[in-house]
Structure 1
Amino acid sequence: MQPPDPDPSQLRVALFSGNYNYVRDGANQALNLLVGHLLAQGVTVRVYSPTTCTPAFPPTGDLVDVPALPMPFGRGEYRVARGLPARVRRDLAAFAPNIVHVSTPDLLGHRALGWAEANGVRAVASFHTRFETYFRYYKLGFVTPFIERLMKRFYDRVDRVLVPGPSMERLLRDWGVTAPISVWSRGIDHARFDPGRRDMAWRRALGIADADPVIGFLGRLVKEKGLSIFAHVVRELEARGVPHKVLVIGDGPARDWFACRVPDAVFTGFLSGDDLGRAVASTDMFFNPSVTETFGNVTTEAMCAGVPVVAARATGAVDLIEHGVTGFLVPPRDVGAYADAIARIVADPALRRTMGEAGHARALAYRWDTANQAALDAYLEVMAAPA
Structure 2
Amino acid sequence: MHVLVVHNRYSSAQPSGENRVVDEEVGLLRAAGHRVEVFERRSDDIAARSLLSKAAVPLLVPWNPSVRTELAARLRDHRADVVHVHNVFPLLSPAVLAACADAGVPVVATLHNYTQVCPPGTLHRDGRACTECVGTATSLPAVRHGCYRNSRLATVPLAVSLAVNRRRWWSGVERFLCISAAQRDVLVRSGMPAERLTVKHNFVPDPGVGRKDDGEHLLFLGRLAEAKGVPLLMAAWDEIAAGGGLGVPLVIAGAGPLEREVTAWAAGRDDVRYVGLYDPEQCREAVARSVAVVAPSMARETFGLVVAEAMAAGVPAVAAAHGGFVELVEDGETGLLHRPGDAAELASRLRRIAADPARNREMGEAARRRYEDHFSPSVGLRRLEEEYRAATAGRSGDGEVPSPTRETSTGSRRETGVSGDGGSR
- Runs of 5+ unmatched residues, structure 1: 1-7, 56-66, 71-78, 204-213
Match of 1:4 in 2: none
- Distance in 2, matches of 1:319 and 1:68, equals 43
Match of 1:269 in 2: 276
Q: 2:223 aligns with which of 220, 224, 234?
A: 220
- Residues 1:168 and 1:241: Cα distance change in structure 2 (over 3 Å): same
Match of 1:93 in 2: 72
- Distance in 1, matches of 2:53 and 2:365, equals 46
Q: Quote how far apart the aligned CAs of 1:248 are.
A: 1.1
Q: Quote how far apart the aligned CAs of 1:119 are.
A: 5.4
Q: Quote how far apart the aligned CAs of 1:195 are.
A: 1.1
Q: 1:18-68 deviations in whole A, cap 9, x for unaligned?
A: 52867532111111122223344333423222242699xxxxxxxxxxx98
CA contact (8 A) 2:67 2:96 kept: no
Q: Quote how far apart the aligned CAs of 1:216 are.
A: 0.9
Instruction: Please say if 1:126 is aligned against 2:110.
Output: yes
Q: 2:22 aligns with which of 21, 24, 31?
A: 31
Instruction: Please say if 1:175 is aligned against 2:175.
Output: no
- Distance in 1, matches of 2:112 and 2:346, equals 26
- Distance in 2, matches of 1:329 and 1:219, equals 18
Instruction: Please say if 1:319 is aligned against 2:327.
Output: yes
Match of 1:233 in 2: 236
CA contact (8 A) 2:113 2:122 kept: no
Opposite residue 367 of structure 1, the aligned amino acid is S
- Residues 1:177 and 1:105: Cα distance change in structure 2 (over 3 Å): farther
Match of 1:146 in 2: 133
Q: Quote how far apart the aligned CAs of 1:247 are.
A: 0.3
Q: 2:175 aligns with which of 160, 171, 182?
A: 160
- Distance in 1, matches of 2:41 and 2:22, equals 12
- Residues 1:113 and 1:53: Cα distance change in structure 2 (over 3 Å): closer
CA contact (8 A) 2:83 2:106 kept: yes
Opposite residue 145 of structure 1, the aligned amino acid is E
- Distance in 2, matches of 1:54 and 1:277, equals 31
Match of 1:245 in 2: 249
Match of 1:296 in 2: 304
Report the count of equivalent residues.
345
Q: 1:139-158 deviations in whole A, cap 9, x for unaligned?
A: 49797422664679476342
- Residues 1:164 and 1:334: Cα distance change in structure 2 (over 3 Å): same
Q: Compute the RMSD of aligned alpha carbons.
A: 3.4
- Distance in 1, matches of 2:241 and 2:260, equals 21
Correspondence list, 1:299-310, <5 A: 299-310=307-318
- Runs of 5+ unmatched residues, structure 2: 140-161, 397-425
- Distance in 2, matches of 1:293 and 1:114, equals 30
Q: 1:226-268 deviations in whole A, cap 9, x for unaligned?
A: 2122122112222333334210122334322333344432122
- Distance in 2, matches of 1:193 and 1:361, equals 15
- Residues 1:216 and 1:54: Cα distance change in structure 2 (over 3 Å): farther
Please give the TM-score of this superposition, normalised by the length of structure 2: 0.70
- Distance in 1, matches of 2:106 and 2:350, equals 47
Q: 1:49-100 deviations in whole A, cap 9, x for unaligned?
A: 2242699xxxxxxxxxxx9859xxxxxxxx9793454543332122115544
- Residues 1:164 and 1:20: Cα distance change in structure 2 (over 3 Å): farther
Match of 1:353 in 2: 361
- Distance in 2, matches of 1:119 and 1:360, equals 43
- Distance in 1, matches of 2:320 and 2:175, equals 28
Match of 1:13 in 2: 4
